Structure 1
Amino acid sequence: MQRLHEELDKLARFSSSEYPSVTRVLYTQNDLEARQYFISLCEDLNLKVRIDPIGNTYARWEGAEPKLAAIGTGSHIDAIPLSGQYDGTVGVFGALEAIRYLKSINFKPKRSIELVLFTAEEPTRFAIGCLGSRMMSGQLKLEQALKLKDKEGNFLNDVRIEAGFKGDLNEVELSKDYYHAFIELHIEQGPRLEKEGLDIGIVSKIAAPSTLRVNLIGEGGHAGAVLMPIRKDAGIAGAEIMIAVERIAKKSNSDDTVGTTGIFDILPRAVNSIPKEAYLEIDLRDTNIETRDKALSDLKQEIAEICEKRNIKYSIEILNCDPPAICDSQLVNTIEKVTNSLGYSSKIMASHAYHDSLFMAQLFPTTMIFIPSKDGVSHRPDEYSSPEQIEKGVKTLALTLKEIDG
């Protein structure tokens, strides 16, 4: 598997930040060059490559009966600023290595096996995660996609055309019989497998994410001249909301509820000026949709109460509010059977992070294969899974694809 690690290392160099950190944002030059590198490796394996109008890239190993629904696998290679080199990429380049492995043992698939490089799993540029798979599954409709803008005010449609991805965006959506099954290999991005000394996680459910954008408008003023009783400080209101996110997540009666205020900005950002505006982006998720929705409702109520108390005007925009995914039990059992045959230890577990598989599961029988992450770290330059751990994930994926085909 030395070749795979060299490829992952080379891929990490397609970045706008200094190695070993990785920053690879949708449709930037680094993203386009990384995609081309992936395509060149697929072509070396004689896989048939096609690219849809949003940039989802399909590499197909044609089976003996190509009219049958294919078996899908894959992940993403875009990376949030200053992140690591394993998130998503192991599921793309590891799947490529799994195909190489199957070819090396002279396996001849009946169904075609198709590797997918999804466009923009990360929400970095257009503030919405899993852009490509949302459109593939029909969860993001054309009229919604056409409204998406980046922070510079550029519309998604203009940016993707400028990047060279043309065609009718209606063609991105897949039919429900396109895949017979879909399997995504991924690093865990958490500490459970490593702490328990396990080789493989088999995902039975994927958390339901929601994202809120909150704008607060108060009144600015001189930090010395405006006395405390009459202030309308948008920054303080934002801080209260931030604390409310944590409190609501903790009191939800579900161990799977998590709330994060990942973005919190204020204006005018001067030490001697009262914040007149605040802007927050909040992530709230759970594997149980009822618990998640109750926490979401509680948070919106608290935002209203905080702003009323402090005389702050506010608006809440729900960027996404997705259902959880229950993974296919037969696929889960198949992977468990494969890990047993390989002598690997495994456990069935939930994915608290969401992935492109969340949206593939809306259409196709789907599950995920997790490998351990050192210290549970992800979205940081020190993100790491060892060569041995990656190899076990690749072999589990390869033999799972073989078993499904059989």
Structure 2
Amino acid sequence: MATRDSVFIFIFRWIWKDDGATGDREEAAAAAVSSSSSARSSEAAITKHQSHQLQQRQCRRVVSHSHPPAPRAVRISLPHGTLSPTVTQSHRTEYRAGLPVPGASGEGSSMPSASSAARLLLALLLVSAAAGHDDAAARRTMEEFAGFVPASDGEGEGPFPAAFRVDSEGLQRQIDELASFSDSPAPSVTRVLYSDKDVQARRYIKGIMNQLGLAVREDAVGNIFGRWEGSEAGLGAVATGSHVDAIPFSGKYDGVVGVLGALEAISLLKRSAFQPKRSLEVIMFTSEEPTRFGISCLGSRLMAGIEELAQSLGKVVDNQNVSFLDAAESAGYKMHPEDLHSVFLKKDSYSAFIELHIEQGPILEKEGIPIGIVTAIAAPASLKVEFEGNGGHAGAVLMPARNDAGLAAAELSLAVEKHVLESGSIDTVGTVGILQLHPGAINSIPSKSHLEIDVRDIDEKRRNDVIYKIHQSATEISKNRGVLFDFKIINQDPPALSDKSVVEAMEFAAKQLNLEYKKMISRAYHDSLFMARVSPMGMIFIPCYKGYSHKPEEYASPEDMANGVKVLALTMAKLSLE
């Protein structure tokens, strides 16, 4: 009883934190919690006190799907022989990160201010737990307080007051500023691990974290953490985040929405005067993209404690023969191979991890649904196959005498498509993303070919069956064409299921915001795939223009980003108070 009563007193203090007559209200709060029945009466009194305003306007969701005109197609060529260009420029751009200025609360009213109302909404999560209310009663109470009158200027449309409004203009400005750190011309973005542009982007993110008052740290490989300390710092923190590296000539929203959007969610909660119980932490993961060293989700894989990766990274080189360790040192992360183990996290290092991300597919936009709640991430696998023949002059060697490594690669590419289509499931996908021929001259028969193949499925066994069939095809092609072949499985990761408690928190947030949502599977992998090994995990998707991603036309509207940020903020708030 004493614990519950102290919680009620804390909540009353928090609700009217900046309003007048604090002492009188604290006395009233203390009297109100003298028994469980009087505590419930106090809740009812608060509800009655605001009911006339809550009924004045029916909140409705306004979903905007305005998009810019499709940009003209731009053909850009990489430098000859370069798959992931190495940055040579030493110029560094100074920046100033724009952050929103918290709005002032209304004064002189006996009603809680707009920011107090937002605090009240979040505080009720804790009230229901402390008072022992059942879930249905807590939900009814929350729904009743989800109808605040929008701001008079019309910009507060929806269930939350102006204090719980996303600074969409500021968020878009930050996205545009981050996109300027690129090794390819706008509208494309190229930002490769440990390049000068990557270093500039890292400095930019740390600058925003510092402006928000977060405690900033980095680990050995450059995963960046910004922590908002909670009132009970000993509890496992609630984490969120994504990545900002970008494959050559891609767009500016992939991953970036999950980092800058997470920082805006923190800013939003701070503007709403929310005080976390569990600490909240934003993570910028190192190298989610496999561009430079062929390793996807490098930072989160290490955080998940994958020993094989830690053992091999000291020997890995890029296509310019620069080692991982040398590249890291050039970016300011000098380390010894044994330092990689310091990145490992223990199981349940976080109480929850939530990643905000563009869908990278067309489903949400086509169906007009603003929020996707991810229930599982498909199992990815990466393969490398090399064929070696005898080559020769394109004119002098007759067709029957050839052992063409290029045709072997072409035949295997078609075999990948065949096996995927015959899997019996639409969830099975396969892609030959890289195909290189040597020596690469029009008048020379290819003596060597190199393929990198991506296979994914939500069903791990079905995916592995496809990989087995691809290997069988490579064996038959090698025999029939008289070429040698080498077949390597680079990674063969299991799928990840979203945690039930995190999914429920995301659903709760979407409902409170009156946002329609769709449960869905992520067929793209993300850092969340590996964070699921050390923490309960969940993902929030928002629509993107025509499902475009990994290309300059990639786009997410300010409205859709704002919806995602609000769902993320409320989800983190709920999980922080549990």
TM-score (norm 1): 0.99
Aligned runs of 1:5-404 on 2, under 5 Å? 5-141=172-308, 142-167=310-335, 168-404=339-575
Letter in 1 for 2:294: A
Offset at residue 155 of structure 1 (A): 1.6
Deviation of 1:251 (Å): 0.7
**Cα displacement string for residues 343-395 of structure 1 (whole angstroms, at most 9, x for unaligned residues):** 11101100000000000001110010000011010000010010000000000
Deviation at 1:235, TM superposition (A): 0.3
User: Which consecutive unaligned segments of at least 5 residues does structure 1 have?
Assistant: none
**Alpha-carbon offset, residue 152 of structure 1:** 1.4
- Measured after TM superposition, the shift of residue 158 of structure 1 is 2.0
Amino acid corresponding to residue 65 of structure 1 in structure 2? E
Bigger Rg, structure 1 or 2: 2
1:3 corresponds to 2:174? no
Aligned equivalents of 2:478 and 2:207: distance in 1? 54
Q: What's the offset of the Cα at 1:20?
A: 1.2
State the alpha-carbon separation in 1 of the partners of residues 267 and 452 from structure 2. Answer: 42
Q: Specify every segment of 5 or more residues in structure 2 that has no aligned partner in the other structure, as ranges.
A: 1-167
SS of equivalent to 2:315: coil
Rounded to whole Å, the distance in 1 between the matches of 2:421 and 2:547 is: 21
1:100-148 residue CA offsets vs partner (Å, 9 max, x unmatched): 0000110000111000000000000000100000000012542122222
Q: State the SS of the aligned residue for 2:519.
A: strand
Deviation at 1:318, TM superposition (A): 1.3
Contact kept? 1:25, 1:31, Cα under 8 Å: yes
1:232-282 per-residue CA deviation (whole Å, 9 max, x = no partner) reads 000000000111111111111111111000100111122221111101111
Give, in whole Å, the separation in 1 of the partners of 2:172 and 2:233. Answer: 31
How far has the Cα of 1:229 moved from its partner? Answer: 1.1
Give the Å deviation of 1:197. 0.6
Q: How far 1:63 sits from its partner (Å)?
A: 0.5
Q: What's the CA shift string for 1:204-249, capped at 9, x where partnerless?
A: 0001111111111001111122111111000000000111111111
Deviates more, 1:223-232 or 1:284-293: 223-232
How many angstroms apart in 1 are the aligned matches of 2:454 and 2:547? 19
Cα deviation digits, residues 321-342 of structure 1 (max 9, x gap): 1110011012112111111110
The one-letter amino acid paired with 1:303 is: A
Whole-angstrom CA distance in 2 between matches of 1:38 and 1:339? 27
SS in structure 2 opposite 1:354? coil
Counterpart-to-counterpart distance in 1, 2:522 and 2:301: 18
Moved more, 319-328 or 166-175: 166-175
Distance of 1:4 and 1:261 partners within structure 2: 36
- Provide the C-alpha distance between the structure 1 equivalents of 2:394 and 2:355, rounded to a whole number of angstroms: 53
Query: What SS does structure 2 have at the residue aligned with 1:205?
Result: strand
Contact 1:49-1:57 within 8 A present in 2 as well: yes
Letter in 2 for 1:162: S
**Could you say which structure has the higher strand fraction?**
1
1:176 & 1:333 partners in 2: Cα distance? Answer: 22
Distance 1:41 1:335 in 2: 26
Distance in 2 between residues matched to 1:17 and 1:224, nearest whole Å: 39
Q: In the alignment, is the contact (CA less than 8 A) between 2:254 and 2:357 conserved in 1? A: yes
Q: Within 2, Cα distance between the matches of 1:144 and 1:322?
A: 17
SS in structure 2 at match of 1:146: helix
After superposition, the C-alpha distances for 1:9-64 in whole angstroms (9 at most, x for unaligned) are 00000000001100000000000001001101110111000000000000000101
Q: For 1:317 and 1:177, how far apart are their aligned partners in 2? A: 33
CA shift, 1:316, in A, is 1.1
Amino acid at match of 1:23: T
Q: Deviations over 1:57-103 (max 9, x none)?
A: 00000101111110000000000000000000000000000000000
2:140 matched to which residue of 1? none
**Distance between the aligned counterparts of 1:188 and 1:196, measured in 2?**
13
- Larger RCO: Structure 1 or Structure 2 (Cα < 8 Å, ≥ 6 residues apart)? 1
Deviation at residue 166 of structure 1 after TM alignment = 3.2
Mapped to 1, the partners of 2:536 and 2:565 lie a distance apart of: 20
Letter of the structure 2 residue corresponding to residue 66 of structure 1:
A
Q: Is the 8 A contact 1:134 1:140 kept in 2?
A: no
- Provide the aligned C-alpha RMSD in A: 0.9
In structure 1, C-alpha distance between the alignment counterparts of 2:488 and 2:320, rounded to whole Å: 19
Letter in 2 for 1:159: A
Between 1:114-123 and 1:271-280, the stretch displaced more is 271-280
Q: Which amino acid aligns with 2:343?
A: V
* DSSP-derived class of the 1:185 partner: strand
Quote the Cα distance in structure 2 between the aligned partners of 1:32 and 1:283: 29
Instruction: Answer with 121-130 or 249-258: which moved more.
Output: 249-258
* Deviation, structure 1 residue 177: 2.8
> Quick one: which amino acid aligns to residue 496 of structure 2?
A
The answer to whether the 8 Å contact 2:325/2:334 transfers is no
Q: Is the 8 A contact 2:374 2:520 kept in 1?
A: yes
TM-score when scaled to structure 2? Answer: 0.70
